[in-house]
Amino acid sequence: MTSLNKNILFEHFAGRTTPLQRIVISEWLQTPENQEVYYQWLEDYENTFPQILADKGVAKRVFFDKITSESNLQTTQELIEEDVYEDSLEPIIIWKKSWFKWAIAAMLFLSIGMIFYVQKDNILYKNYQTAYGETQTINLPDGSRVTLNANSSLRLKRFGFVSAPIREVYLDGEAEFSVKHKSDNQRFIVKTSQKLEVEVLGTEFSVFARERGSKVVLTKGKVKVNYGTGKQQHSIMMKPGDLVSLDKKGEAKLKEIQNVKVYTAWKSHRFIFDNTSLEEITYQIEETFGVHIEINSADLANRTVTGTFSAEQADDLIAILQELLTLQYEKNSDGTVVLSDIIE
């Protein structure tokens, strides 16, 4: 049990606590267990009382204006020079000490607020990030599993993820999900920056959400894909073997595919191409390995490749393409790779 109750902290978040209460709270926060409780109750407060963030610049100016105005008061020395009796100075000294404590408490409160503002995302959310060429498997608190592809990130609430009415995660990049079904049919939603949501109860699927578009491939189970075009919202129900793609304009297409494993081959560092254009392949290389590739002609960009290839770095895959398509390979000083036909 803690020595502070939730109501006091709510008053604190609303800015209605006294200087003494703020000092007690700052001492209470020295205990790590109390810090966890503090952030949980802060999240509850923000959900209960949504509000605009205060302008800290204005707050600091008001605070320092207060200091400046107080400095214009007569000092103790000035009062003595005016022959004020020494015992009459005691109330002034007490007031000075009280004001000093208030100033320390105010600065401490402001510092805590600024630290929370800067670190809010890391405090309230767990963040996972993969580098170029790296994959990572994450076990979520509810028993679900996520495998992140290279150059991807996943975010979920640090507190209350399992107990919330909806389990929500935020994906930027590409990932495969294996979602654990809950006895209370608690929903699981994957949100992306492409205005696409995947809503499930218990299933296996993969999501691709990058700048050039989004894709959802369902391996087993049942999911609903929600997306918006303009002010309109749409939904598509998927069955195993379905692929939903969303282009940059927000237009969706649904089609059946024969082999869903093609879309998760990246987990074993494999690339599966089926009449895939060289232009599409260069997009995959850049997204996976961070290597920018330029193709010097439209004809070359439209040439296709079919086959399964293993590659753990960009140079491995580029070398394969160079041999298959008889290409000339050149790397500029900025790291850009230029592909062109070999001139005989």
| Assigned CATH for 130-260 | 2.60.120.1440
Domain 130-260 and domain 269-341 have a common topology: no
Which residues, 6+ apart, have CB-to-CB distance to 267 below 8 Å? 135, 147, 149, 176
Band (pLDDT 50/70/90 cuts) for residue 306 is: very high
Residue 52 corresponds to which tokens in the numbers above?
């605009």
Q: Tell me how far apart the alpha carbons of residues 237 and 285 are, in angstroms, rounded to a whole number.
A: 31
Tell me which of 125 and 39 has the higher pLDDT. 125
- Average pLDDT for residues 299-307, to the nearest whole number? 94
Fold of 269-341: Phage tail protein beta-alpha-beta fold (3.55.50)
Q: Are 254 and 227 in contact (CB under 8 A)?
A: no
Q: Tell me how far apart the alpha carbons of residues 190 and 196 are, in angstroms, rounded to a whole number.
A: 8
Q: Are 210 and 287 in contact (CB under 8 A)?
A: yes
Q: Residue 35: enclosing H or E segment and its boundaries?
A: helix 32-48
* Per-residue pLDDT tens over the stretch 1-21: 446 787 787 888 777 877 677
Residue 208 scores a pLDDT above 90: yes
Per-residue b/e over 229-266, b at no fewer than 16 CB within 10 Å? eeeeeeebebebebbbebeeebebeeeeeeebebbbbb
Q: Is residue 12 classed exposed, middle or buried when 0-12, 13-18 and 19+ CB atoms within 10 A define those classes?
A: buried
Domain boundaries, the chain: 6-123, 130-260, 269-341
Closest CA to 217 of 209, 205, 208: 205
Q: How far is the first Cα of the chain from the last one, in angstroms, to the nearest whole number?
A: 81
Residue 109 corresponds to which tokens in the numbers above?
């409160």
Band (pLDDT 50/70/90 cuts) for residue 80 is: very low
* Per-residue pLDDT tens over the stretch 158-207: 888 988 889 999 999 999 999 998 888 889 999 998 778 999 977 899 99
Alpha carbon of 231 to those of 28, 44, 227: distances in Å?
48, 30, 10
- DSSP code for 257: -
